[in-house]
Amino acid sequence: MKAASVQPAHWLVGGLSIGIAAANVARIAHALALVAGVGLALAAALLRGQLRLPTLVLGIAIAGWWWGSARLSALDRSPLLSQVGRAERSRVVVTGPPRLGRFDVRLPGRLTRFGPLGIHEQVLLELPLGRSPPQGAILDVLGVVALPRGPSHGFDERAWLRRHGMHVVLRVDDWRQVGRRGGVGGLADRLRARLAGSATVGLRGERRALVEGVVLGDDQGLSDELRQRFRASGLYHLLAVSGQNVVLVAGGALLFAWLTGIPRWLGELGALGAIAAYVLAVGAQPSVVRAGIAGALGSLAWLAARERDRWHFLLLGALALLAWNPYNLLDAGFQLSFVAVVAIFVVAPRLDAALEGYPVPAGLRGAVAISAACGALTAPILWFQFHAIPLLTVPANALAAPVAAPLLGLALLAAALAPFSPAAAGGAAWLNGWCAAYLAGCARIIGGLPFAQIRSGRVAAVLGACAVAGAAYAWRRWPRPP
């Protein structure tokens, strides 16, 4: 990796990303803004000296602002809002896994027909409790269009759904499956089902649900009590697909190429295919898209004999997510994912260097440094988004460190072995079940302590002030990593 020096490419990608994100504050829909941005970018080519780069960055930032405004206007457009209160027989494609509530089952879907109208729009399906359709199912439903719930107990469902392109809820009284989607979406459904089944072969109950959560980022199989313990302990990030997942997927492909004597360039192509398949199976979560883009660019950089720049990869991941949906900037997953990576790049090396000389095992020191850095920098986001901050993140992650990577590695190994040797896959999954049981025990023990989590605003303010003062003092005195 190159040293963290700011390159012109960083300014360009960062400027475009900031321009797109600015549409969340104010929108410029007039085409003259695009003309002005392109004009400044072209004018920069005629300039020399120090003004050239700032002019170019300003031009593409204005163009990005126009693009972000156009994308938000498109996402806010909803023909179904005029149909609120109307009931019709409709055709819907289920686009995500179900989420079980106390009184209903909720699924994301894409409406393709509403009565006689050919409307294509994302909706949230509300089904009665009971059997739920699988992801990818095409449903014929009888339902009524309703508005989502407004602000309640600190959560605004209407605003959250709007940021994901959904403006209405389709409350379904009767449904039947009439087919399954094809194309890329159908491929993603099959990959997800195969990965979930082969990675957990022979497992049942909580252990199976926990392995699925780590591999696919889906925690619906866990009990409400265990999910809350994971949040309170600071281990909930293990149930969200992260860069570690993508690294293991790509590394597995490269390891297979090395063991079988396949040329490195073919191994890198295999890694690209494995990353693409994994991202399809998991879905377009901000953390996995960011990690997938970084992993794919890393392989492409090797194939093109170019140096790898982790900051450039990170910025390109942010640009891709914001260009598709500028509302991603306001999403908790987006914020936590990118802030955590920045913490790993900037703060964790300083903490790791500061721990040298202390009686901390070398294998554990990195985990402590990373968990402390990520915990400190993501705490404000956790408070702003969820009004809760886990206090015991460092000891919880230190306890979970011995099984965090093996759990994911064994799951992927079981998935790779399942087509060739179901018995070997079952053995890997059985061993993985014990890792899952240990991880659940760590979450229950740490998350169950009475002081594991802060929910008081005054205590959070005092803790934040102390953390800022301590960070300012330590930043000047800690040794800089080479």
Residue 57 within any structural domain of the chain = yes
- In a domain, residue 481? The reply is no
Phi/psi of residue 4, each to 5°?
A: -80, 65
85 and 144 inside one domain: yes
Q: Rounded mean pLDDT of 308-320?
A: 85
pLDDT score, position 480 = 56
Residue 185 lies in a domain: no
Give domain status of residue 285, yes or no.
yes
Is 188 part of a structural domain of the chain? Answer: no
Whole-angstrom Cα distance, residue 95 to residue 247? 26
Same domain for 125 and 46, yes or no, is: no
Q: For residue 138, what pLDDT band results from cuts at 50, 70 and 90? A: very high
Considering 154, 180, 206, which residue would you say is the last residue of a domain?
Answer: 180
Domain endpoint, select from 180, 207, 231: 180
CA 372 – CA 210 distance, rounded (Å) = 24
At 482, the amino acid letter reads P
Same domain, 250 and 115: no
Same domain, 241 and 290: yes
Decide if pLDDT at 467 tops 90: no
Average confidence (pLDDT) over 282-303: 79
Residues 384 and 326 in one domain: yes
**Residue finishing a domain among 60, 76, 92:** 76
Q: Identify the CATH number of the domain in which residue 118 sits.
A: 2.40.50.140
Of 3-7, 49-53, 262-266, which one has max mean pLDDT? 262-266
Same domain, 331 and 420: yes
For residue 424, what pLDDT band results from cuts at 50, 70 and 90?
very high
Residues 300 and 423 in one domain: yes
- What is the DSSP secondary-structure string of 11-79? HHHHHHHHHHHGGGT-----HHHHHHHHHHHHHHTT--GGGHHHHHHHHHHHHHHHHHHHHHHHHH--G
Instruction: Please name which of 106, 382, 386, 127 lies closest in space to residue 220, comparing C-alpha atoms.
Output: 106
Q: Do 272 and 401 have their domain in common?
A: yes
Higher pLDDT, 102 or 380: 380
Segment among 19-23, 300-304, 346-350, 440-444 with least mean pLDDT: 300-304
Angle in degrees, 0-180, between the axes of helices 310-324 and 52-76, rounded to the nearest 10: 40
The pLDDT of residue 455 is 76
Between 168-172, 234-238, 286-290, 415-419, the lowest mean confidence (pLDDT) is in 286-290
Q: Which of 109, 117, 79, 108 is nearest to 92 (CA)?
A: 109
Buried-exposed string 75-89: b where 16+ CB fall within 10 A, e elsewhere: beebebeebeeeebe
pLDDT attached to residue 141? 92
Residue 22 banded pLDDT, cuts 50, 70, 90? very high
Query: What are the tens digits of pLDDT across the range 45-90?
Result: 777 777 888 888 898 999 999 999 999 999 999 999 988 889 999 9
* SS3 (DSSP) at 262: coil
Confidence of residue 441 (pLDDT cuts 50, 70, 90): very high
Contact 287, 333 (CB under 8 A): yes
Domain with 404 in it: 193-475
Q: Is residue 67 domain-shared with residue 85, that is, in the same domain?
A: no
At residue 156, the pLDDT reads 83
pLDDT at 20 over 90: yes
In a domain, 480, yes or no: no
CB 238 within 8 A of CB 438: no
The predicted-structure confidence for 199-223, as pLDDT tens digits, reads as follows 888 888 899 999 998 888 888 888 8
Rounded to whole angstroms, what are the CA distances from 263 to 112, 266, 374? 46, 5, 37
Confidence label for 2 from pLDDT (cuts 50, 70 and 90): very low
- Given a cut of 50, whether residue 373 has pLDDT beyond it is yes
**What is the total count of domains within the chain?**
3
Q: Which range has the worst mean pLDDT, 61-75, 94-108, 214-228, 297-311?
A: 297-311
* pLDDT, mean over the chain: 85
Residue 3: is its pLDDT beyond 60? no
- Identify the pLDDT of residue 1: 41
Q: Is the domain of 406 the same as that of 275? A: yes
